[in-house]
Chain A
Amino acid sequence: MLEIKSLTKSYGDNLIFQDLDLQVHQGEVLSIVGPSGIGKTTLLKIMTGIEPADSGDIFIDGQLVNQEGRDLQNKIGLIFQDFNLFPNYTVMGNITLAPINVNKLSAAKSQKEARSLLTTLGMADKADLYPYQLSGGQKQRVAIARALAMKPQIIAYDEPTSGLDEVSTGQVAEVIKTLKDQGVTQVVITHDQPFAEEISDRVFDFAKEVARV
């Protein structure tokens, strides 16, 4: 469903990757592994529409995406490595802000959906807290709920286990499996090999697949 064809990106003279091909299939969990600094996060930024590639194409369901425009927004949800929750909104506010303002959903409807997402993630009692009152693992689940509330076709995670202890890592794995059972397509960037093997259907080795110059 998501197809990336010969993607190239560089910052100035620094070539990050060249002619990268990647497919993400409907309903699968794909892990992208590789050492840090190799361009995994850059790839996520391009996939989620934060910045365009220098060349190469992205197709969603066979449709060519305009990387400069807003085609990718809402199609792919992203869980940032440091979550990037909005500190001035409660957990509920973080989850409902985009559905209300971007999708023009009613406040009541989006809150109802947010509550059911929070319940799924075991965070039902945290709706009225602000991000600073949450632990790292809880913040991450809010970030997941915030992304899911926009009903994206794919959820992407940037290093979801960095900075988490073993218990929290186990919980992230549980969340990813739960969502997979619900049919959510997921892309996970990680350098945690055992974690990648535990959760994913397929592992994409960034270092091997990318032709670096």
Chain B
Amino acid sequence: MNYIIQILPGILSGLKYTLGVFFITLVGSIPLGILVSLGLRSPYFSIRWILNAYIWVMRGTPLLLQLIFIYYGLSMVGITFPRFEAAVIAFIINYAAYLAEIFRGGLQAIPEGQYDAAKVLGFSRRQTFFKIILPQVVKIVVPSFGNEAVNLVKDTSLIYVIGLGDILRAGNIAASRDVTLIPYLLVGILYLAMTGLVTLLLRRYETRLSVWR
């Protein structure tokens, strides 16, 4: 117990990177994902082609490779980012691609009649999207979104490869220094707590949305 109290501050100090990447990625990838999903329905073939290629690359290669590419790879051609910024950029463009696919599915599920009804009543395209379409899309995508949010909590552990001291890296250092598995268990419990909290919050949100169908 004493040992846990002794190493806990070190591990918790890694939380600022873990949580930082988590929240900034959510805030950045949700609007970007919505924009991309709207772009996928563009009448212009070239826009759809570019966005499909983007999604294919982001989903078809490992996030670990994308992280390494943006931090180490780009620096070899003179484009350098600080570690944290590199991590956040990689995560946002990767998660936006996954979210775009989820939002696209949600958008496709909205019947054409909703747009027709909005048009006859005189709503602008903007009002139609934000007041009528988006709330229905949100309800449809919350379960799949929850999946991605839980994945994101765990994926933040990848940032250790570019030298960021998140909780996994902090635990790893403590474990090899003191030759014990306790730090690993502690880190595992922290991830469980975070994913548990994310799951709980999204379940509550789902329940709140279930007043209408």
Contacts and interface: CB of A to CB of B under 8 A. Distances in A.
A48 interface: yes
Nearest to A101: B127
A49 B132 CA distance: 19
Contact-residue size bin, chain B (C-beta under 8 Å from the other chain) = 10 to 19
B119 A50 contact: yes
Nearest to B117: A84
Interface residues of A, number: 29
Given A80-B117, A84-B114, A98 B212 contact: no
Contact of B121 (A89, A130, A132, A146): A146
Interface in B95-150: 111, 113-114, 116-117, 119-123, 127, 131-132, 135-136, 139
Contact of B116 (A80, A102, A132): A80
Contacts of B131: 97, 101
B116 A84 contact: yes
A73 B122 contact: yes
In this complex, the member of B113, B120, B121, B123 whose beta carbon has the largest number of chain A beta carbons within 10 angstroms is B120
Interface in B129-178: 131-132, 135-136, 139
Chain A facing B: main interface SS: loop
Nearest to A76: B120
B139 A50 contact: no
A182 interface: no
In this complex, the member of A45, A70, A102, A130 whose beta carbon has the largest number of chain B beta carbons within 10 angstroms is A102
B126 to A, nearest CB: 10
A80 B120 CA distance: 10
A189 interface: no
Contacts of B114: 84, 86
B135 A88 contact: yes
B136 A101 contact: no
A103 B120 CA distance: 13
B123 A88 contact: no
A87 interface: yes
In this complex, the member of A80, A88, A132, A147 whose beta carbon has the largest number of chain B beta carbons within 10 angstroms is A88
A48 B122 CA distance: 10
Given A73-B120, A131-B212, A146-B121, 17 more contacts: A49-B120, A50-B116, A70-B122, A73-B121, A74-B121, A77-B120, A80-B117, A86-B117, A88-B132, A88-B139, A88-B212, A89-B212, A97-B131, A98-B121, A103-B122, A132-B212, A150-B121
Interface of A: 45, 48-50, 70, 73-74, 76-78, 80, 82, 84-89, 97-98, 101-103, 130-132, 146-147, 150
29 contacts: A45-B116, A48-B120, A50-B116, A70-B122, A73-B119, A73-B120, A73-B121, A73-B122, A74-B122, A78-B117, A78-B120, A80-B116, A80-B117, A84-B111, A84-B116, A86-B114, A86-B117, A86-B132, A88-B132, A88-B136, A88-B139, A88-B212, A97-B121, A98-B121, A102-B121, A102-B127, A103-B122, A132-B213, A150-B122
Interface of B: 111, 113-114, 116-117, 119-123, 127, 131-132, 135-136, 139, 211-213
